[in-house]
A and B are shown apart, each in its own frame.
Chain A
């Protein structure tokens, strides 16, 4: 298989059919999954840098007691924007971009199921994110924390534009996340290469399937609750107004019914990334594949039953709390299965190829265990009451989110950058990046456990000297600078290697899954011949890929003489060939649909009369999008 793409007899015709327009027009209309996926990742990473700069601002303000670098009001906006950006504009979009890029390659498809929907999701994401940052620049950003609790955020206590931006733009963003999730699920279920039955799917694909299903079940709760808050603010309803029959706890329940699964929506893809990387460098198939997949499914399910552990202090009956504490602790079991699988893969394999990607993967295991341990601690009700709303919590969730999600995201970039660009990242700079980041991270956040136990509350813009917090805060701030510096090294590495890195070739790491069976970067049609899969790690097995004869459908798919974009569709469980999906090409209408909807969402802040206008425009855009094919999205 590993031949050069140009060698295939249909190369030229296929690349013409799958060609994207270039330039500005291309930016507005190109639908190819790799284009859109990369764009998602780059945009999300820019938001990561912005949120990181906000973290630096906060840490500078907190370096010494009673500093006045920023005003209290600006500090509030900054921690709200930092949290909201990291959760909504960075992790989920980045991971979805990674999946949009990799899933079709890993399952041997040429494109995702609904290419134009993909592009629509990107535009929604971009518009919502940019709008939030425009608000921040104007000093009108939301300022009540990333979970935006009423009554503080209700019309009575927080009139003004800030919270309006939060409720409208976060709802809008969820549209993007939901669209991408539907796309990912259908692609995984229906567009896998023949022979890739469910029990042969790469673990990353499994995690993305479960993640996307979780998005489909969890995000609607956030959509509904922020819609209710928007109605409270714009039309005078009383969902959260206790004086008129509403209840602010309704927000907390609905928010955390989304919020806790959201943690696993961020974490499971990381599990998938690490489960792809470790076997390649340990040179051994993943230990206990079936158990790992089962644990992913179990975590996905259990995580819907634990949301109340975010509400221990609000006065719910103790019996109820015990149930949720037990359920929360139960999640450690499937997590432990995964950790043992990685460790035994390394144990039985080798640790000789300690590349940067592998370092980040191992660093993830270590830091995630630490975050997990403090997680068990705060799942216990009495301890939780003690440290509630202190820096102990800030330390805990950064171990989970930075250790558990950001490190694997870096690992994924080091690992797949050769596939994205055809070039290797510099390993020496990579190592510097890793070590400085991990040391800086622990300096910043390990100490915060102590700061929290000493009683420092979170979300305060300054503190008095002599409370025992001074040196801890100063060191935390120094650690943050170390981390920020290491990220600069990473950016330099990416910028330099993208043009001048060593050539990667199709399969620089000797990987086992299908994305390594095509050139780097892949041709715009991914695979000329449909890969037929005969094993779990097809590239590692002799005769793991391909077939002995060339049946007519194989020829049909590799010969686009009718100038249509086609990819094979297969049955859900056993991936038997079923048909050929004809996929749409570039279109300006997804962008117009996103713009029409933003008339409704952004307009709602001025007058609700703009909502029907936006919806009507959206209908027109949808009509143009589907006409004359009229075959659904």
Chain B
């Protein structure tokens, strides 16, 4: 064929050893998959926030006349709990990488408990709301954002419980913990993205 042979610019191959099967971090396709899932979800979440402000910009009054700005205390506490919730698992990951699975067994339930408290507080505060999803676009945004965040926390609770059950069976160790890593990536995303929702829904209407 026409193109002249080029000398290889880059010696292509790792050394003469065999290759591992258990990959973690950026070596693992599963972690990349989890990151892309987060990118998709983060795009949806940001467009949600953009939509909120788009409708708000077009509105004469926000919140609409006769609606009080939302209660602040309970959602703030809930938000803090949710932000803390991935921390235990994050801490337990290091011993796990050194093959100590013990800390994960208590860190996971602790984190899940925090996330559950968030959910419970949020449900309570929504039940008290006077603006409903079908009274005004303001309510539609609040309820759908809350529902979206809540659904994600439910996902974390379910996935976390499954990981916990697997951990109890001794499934994870130094050589196998991508599942936990992927859960953590997702969990952190859920906590951080709901912070943006929180700022949009609870802080922004007051300024």
Contacts and interface: CB of A to CB of B under 8 A. Distances in A.
A158 interface: no
B13 A577 contact: yes
Contacts of A557: 19
B133 A235 contact: yes
Nearest to A623: B162
A224 B19 contact: no
A630 B137 CA distance: 41
B20 A580 contact: yes
Given A630-B171, A630-B179, A632-B179, A245 B136 contact: yes
A103 B37 CA distance: 21
A390 to B, nearest CB: 30
Interface in B11-26: 12-23, 26
Contacts of B144: 228, 231, 237
Contact of A237 (B27, B37, B43, B134): B134
A1 B147 CA distance: 56
Nearest to A185: B36
Contacts of B34: 632
Contact of A224 (B47, B143, B171): B47
A370 interface: no
A629 to B, nearest CB: 9
B33 A631 contact: no
B59 interface: yes
A631 B26 CA distance: 15
Contacts of B21: 566, 579-582
B98 interface: no
Interface centre among A237, A244, A349, A549 (most CB of B within 10 A): A237
Interface residues of A, number: 85
B102 to A, nearest CB: 19
Interface in B95-123: none
B16 A631 contact: no
A587 B90 CA distance: 32
A403 to B, nearest CB: 29
B108 to A, nearest CB: 13
B158 interface: yes
B198 interface: no
Interface in A532-567: 532-537, 539-544, 547, 549, 551-553, 556-557, 566
A113 B33 contact: yes
Nearest to A244: B136
Interface centre among B14, B29, B58, B163 (most CB of A within 10 A): B29
A231 B132 CA distance: 13
Interface stretch (B1-9, B68-76, B199-207): B1-9
A241 interface: yes
Given A552-B17, A580-B19, A619-B158, A217 B5 contact: no
A319 B54 CA distance: 19
30 contacts: A113-B33, A182-B36, A185-B36, A186-B29, A186-B33, A216-B39, A219-B40, A220-B44, A224-B44, A228-B51, A235-B133, A239-B51, A239-B140, A244-B137, A245-B138, A247-B137, A285-B2, A512-B1, A537-B1, A540-B1, A543-B5, A547-B13, A552-B18, A577-B14, A577-B19, A578-B14, A580-B20, A581-B21, A626-B162, A630-B171
Interface of B: 1-3, 5-6, 8, 10, 12-23, 26-27, 29-30, 32-34, 36-37, 39-41, 43-44, 47-48, 51, 54-55, 58-59, 64, 133-141, 143-144, 158, 162-163, 166, 171, 176, 178-179, 182
